[in-house]
Amino acid sequence: MSYMEDFAKIVKEQLDRVERMKEDTGATDFASKEKIIIGMIDGDGIGPVIMESARAILKKLLAEEIETGRLELRKIQGLTIENRIEKMETVPGDVLAAIKQCDLLLKGPTTTPGRGDGRPNLESANVTLRRELDLFANVRPVKIPEKDIDWIFYRENTEGEYALGSRGVDISEDMSIDFKVTTRQGTERLARAAFEYARANGKKNVSIVTKANIMKKTDGRFLSICLQVAEEYQEIKVDDWYVDIMAANLIDDKINSGFEVFILPNLYGDIITDEAAQMQGGVGTAGSANIGNRYAMFEAIHGSAPRMIEEGIGEYANPASLCRAAIMMLRHMGSGFSNKADRLEKVLDQAAEDLNMPGDGTGNTAEEFKAFVLERL
């Protein structure tokens, strides 16, 4: 197949995706479900270590709902780098089928093969899951009370550079081209989710972050659509920024506390939210939600930290980020679980103050973190 045929196929697939988005029937109402199934995926590297803590904590926190059958914590096997390589599938078919039987996912970090590591060039499992489950909004909160910072980021999750990151073409030995895609439907639903959150939570400012001055077609469309949605929310102040300037704004203490809600395309959102998490105390302190209308996936924003396993210090991994993601999951499940989310958040805040978990083989272990939280729950 020539590169022109490759490109035509990509365009056709994206046009078909637009038609599917037009047929979307809306978000799941968890309050009306007789049973909620939470799939729990260990992942790679330190994933099983931190998931063991999160699983024990949720079992205690949700004991009543589990006992009555209202809720099930279901372990999903097989989303490991070893199994993925053996089957040469980014997400093996049987694993994806098991995932689709769940309503929500709590997921540990998974390893994506990189250049020079001797592994097959498999796509990121996260990118595949976001696409397969249509998890269009990546939602990441960051709070730094001492600086009066309370941010929440709405990052587009199914388009941009990442959606077609493994689909670029080699034109010749001298040139390669990757693709970036922006659609009206994909951008509009993200923007609406962000503005609805702002309205529901009394937020007065939404900031749109792009590079629309350079990427005039894709980022230009993204910005234009966000501004069109903003017209429906006249009580909310809207501003737009270029991503390089916003990267500087986040560390400018003279203005950073004035930001509240952010809307970003996929790649910029990935970079900016890691910067924000580092300001909060590191990516190990931050949770992440991937929201769609049918499914939702919650995870730590850090990677699988293979170095810690190789050095024999995996037991010192910090489960806080995954547990913060579990708080977001509980809140996503509706008002019936908000009190439990508040309880867990309060104890995790205590853990952040009282425990020392630098992830370098010193300080407290994941097991000690788990014991601390369980005792106080």
Domain ranges of the chain: 33-135+292-377
In this model, does residue 73 exceed pLDDT 90?
Answer: yes
Span 171-193, pLDDT tens digits: 888 988 888 999 999 999 999 99
Higher pLDDT, 2 or 123: 123
Q: What's the burial of 20, exposed, middle or buried (CB within 10 Å: 0-12/13-18/19+)?
A: exposed
pLDDT at residue 1, rounded to an integer: 55
User: Pairing mode, if any, of strands 175-177 and 169-172?
Assistant: antiparallel
| pLDDT of the residue at 64 | 97
- Percent of the chain at pLDDT exceeding 90: 71
Tell me: the pLDDT tens digits for 184-223? 999 999 999 999 889 988 999 999 999 999 999 999 999 9
Tokens of 177: 């081209």
* pLDDT at position 284: 63
| Residue-wise pLDDT tens digits, 337-358 | 989 999 999 999 999 999 999 9
**Mean pLDDT across 58-86:** 97
* Cβ–Cβ < 8 Å for 60, 372: no
Q: What is the pLDDT of residue 29?
A: 83
Please give the pLDDT value at position 131: 85
pLDDT over 70 at 74, yes or no: yes
Confidence tier at 4 by pLDDT (50, 70, 90): confident
Instruction: Give the least confident one: 169-178, 230-239, 246-255, 304-313.
Output: 169-178
Q: Which residues pair with 229 in a beta bridge?
A: none
pLDDT digits (tens, 9 = 90+) for 267-294: 999 999 999 989 988 766 667 899 998 9
pLDDT band for 330, please (50, 70, 90 cuts): very high
Mean predicted confidence (pLDDT) in 248-254: 97
d(CA 367, CA 317): 9
Specify the pTM: 0.80
- The third-level CATH classification (topology) of the domain covering 33-135+292-377 is Isopropylmalate Dehydrogenase (3.40.718)
302 vs 364, higher pLDDT: 364
Phi, psi of 258 (to 5 degrees): -80, -15
Mean pLDDT of the chain, nearest integer? 92
Rounded Cα–Cα distance for residues 259 and 163 (Å)? 28
